Each structure stands twice: as C-alpha cells, then as structure tokens.
Amino acid sequence: MDIELQQLRILHRVAETGSINRAAEELGMSQSGVSRALQRLERAVGLPVLHRRPSGITLTTAGSILLEHADTVLPAVSRMFTDVRRCLAADGGRSPVRLGAVPAPTLTSFVRCVEDLGIAPMSLLVDESGQRLVQLIGNGEIDVALFRHFLELDPDPPEPVRHEEIAAQHPYLCVPDTHRLADRPAAGLADLGDEHVVLAYPECQPLTGHFHTACAAAGIRPRVSYANSASAAVALGHALGAVTFTYWPTVKEARMAHVPLRDTPLNAVLLLAWLPDGPLGDEPGARLVSSVRTLHAASVETGA
C-alpha cells in the first residue's frame, strides 16, 4: 500500500497540535476522517506512528522518521509543481488551471467564468470544506477556489493566499411546509432545542462541526440525524418532518419552506481565493472576482 501526500500532511498537523481533534479542525476535516487517514498510514508503514495517551498524542519512532522525511518531501512536491508550471510558461505553453469549489447551484457558471478568462484548460475538485481547499491552494495542488467561509468559526486564509469576498451567505432552515416553523418570518438557534435536525455528513463537512459548536454555545442539544449528501439530507428531512440547512434560499424544493436563521455564528461569506504567483496572477484574479460577483448576484436575483 502506497503512502499518500495527504496522509503525511495530516501526520504533520497532528504532530504540531498534539491532538487529532485540533488537527481535524485546522484541516477542515472530521475527526473520523483524520483517524482513518492515520490508520491507512499505519497499515502502509506496518508500524504504529502515534502514541495515544490521555495527556495527548506523540509520535512513535516510526512516526518521527516519517515526519522527518515528510518535512523534505512536501516542500519538494510543491517546488516540483512550481517548476513544471514555469517550464510550461517558458515554452509558451498554457498551464492548466486547477479549480476547487464547494458544491453549489452556481458551480457550472463558476467554471465558465474561469474559461472566459482564456487562461487554459482545467481540472475541478468539489469539496465541502473551505479550509481544506485553502490548504490545497497553499500546497500548490489547486490554483483557485470558491468556498464558504464561516466568519466566527473559521480561521482566515493564511499568507500568501489571496482572498476576496464574493457575497454574504446566511443560513436558512429548510422545513416541510407543514412544520411549525414554516410560517415564521425568522428563527433562532433556540428554536431548534426540541427539533429533529438532519445534517449532511461528508468526511470534510465543516457545517456539521460548526453546528454542534453553535448549539453548545446556545445551550441546546437538538436531536441530530445524518445523510451522506445535501440532497439526501433534504429528502430525509422531508420524510421525517425535520429541519435541514441551506445557504441557497432561491433554490426551492417542492413542499418545503425556507426560514431565515438569525443571530447565529453559522453566518458565512462566499470567498474566492488564489495564489498571486499562480497562473491567475493579480490582474486575471481581479477580473475573475468581478465576473463571479456578477454571476452570483444574477443567480440570487433570478433564483437560478
């Protein structure tokens, strides 16, 4: 079994924080996702890489050796990608732009906005976690990302990643039209104290962790079920008469109502992020920001 670069990055973060929980938060992953990645790494090595103790997590001898080599390998991989891109530019070739984005109704239009810049062909990675996408930009694995950033709960993208706000994104409760909250002009987290809530639960889903953090701060413990995608969460919520979340209130589901959720740390913004020394650069990046802002405003206005 081969060792993956992401496993080495996770090991590095766990070693720095001394905690799987804190590493998962910083990486925008679930605790179980980090644990599974470390288990795959241990199977590949054939030895434990961590000592798990009540006082915290430390590296075994094998883990320390891996980390020492990871500190060489990871920067080398980043330099490799940079050198290849410089080679393409020197030869007059067009380096492919690698996109990352959260799943959203505007995803197809976002890709077209990049194509309209005439930069190059591209690849696309869809991921729920903004922190994960920012990490990939910093590692040189993608070039530009469109993602949801929770202002009160997510750390700001680090230097040298450049980021611009596209639009504010506020959470809505998606409920069956017969639900007790369906006719409310707005709701607060306290209204969810006795409710059944369905959350999408992909491996790198930040909303799940942020929702539990927000509920704990509000002093409530609603009953929670999970689905493996946003669309499955809506379907399950409708079947159970439960509450789900959306940040796209103009995208309507049959027999469902959208109720604004007010005064909550789950408020977010949609960010566009890229590296200034990547294939976009500052001037194309600024043009892309303008195009995506226009696209988003039009989609909100038309309900597309």
Each residue's pLDDT tens digit, 285-304: 888 899 899 888 877 665 55
Residue-level pLDDT at 260: 96
Q: Which strand (E) or helix (H) includes residue 144? A: strand 144-150
Q: What is the Cα–Cα distance from 260 to 288, expressed in whole angstroms?
A: 30
Q: 77 by DSSP, 3-state: which?
A: helix
Residue whose C-alpha is closest to residue 281's, from 148, 121, 117: 117
Residue whose C-alpha is closest to residue 166's, from 274, 91, 87: 274
Q: 189 by DSSP, 3-state: which?
A: helix
Q: 177 by DSSP, 3-state: which?
A: coil
What's this model's pTM, rounded to 2 decimal places?
Answer: 0.72
Q: How many CB atoms lie within 10 A of CB 205?
A: 22
Q: 171 by DSSP, 3-state: which?
A: coil
Sign of CA dihedral 170, 171, 172, 174: positive
The tens digit of pLDDT for each residue in 6-48 reads 888 888 888 888 888 888 877 767 778 888 888 888 888 888 9
Residue-level pLDDT at 286: 85
Q: Which strand (E) or helix (H) includes residue 79? A: helix 61-90
Contact 166, 212 (CB under 8 A): no
Look up residue 221 and give its two tokens. Answer: 């413990």
Residue whose C-alpha is closest to residue 131's, from 203, 204, 70, 74: 204
Residue whose C-alpha is closest to residue 205's, from 245, 259, 172: 245
Look up residue 214 and give its two tokens. Answer: 């927000």
Contact 226, 198 (CB under 8 A): yes
Look up residue 134 and give its two tokens. Answer: 């920012």
Looking at residue 23, its amino acid is A
Assign 3-state DSSP to the chain and report helix, strand, coil percentages, each to 5. 45, 20, 35
Q: Averaged in consecutive runs of 10 residues, what is the pLDDT profile of the chain (304 residues)?
A: 78 86 76 85 88 83 88 73 53 68 85 77 82 86 91 88 93 94 96 94 77 92 89 89 90 87 94 84 82 82 57
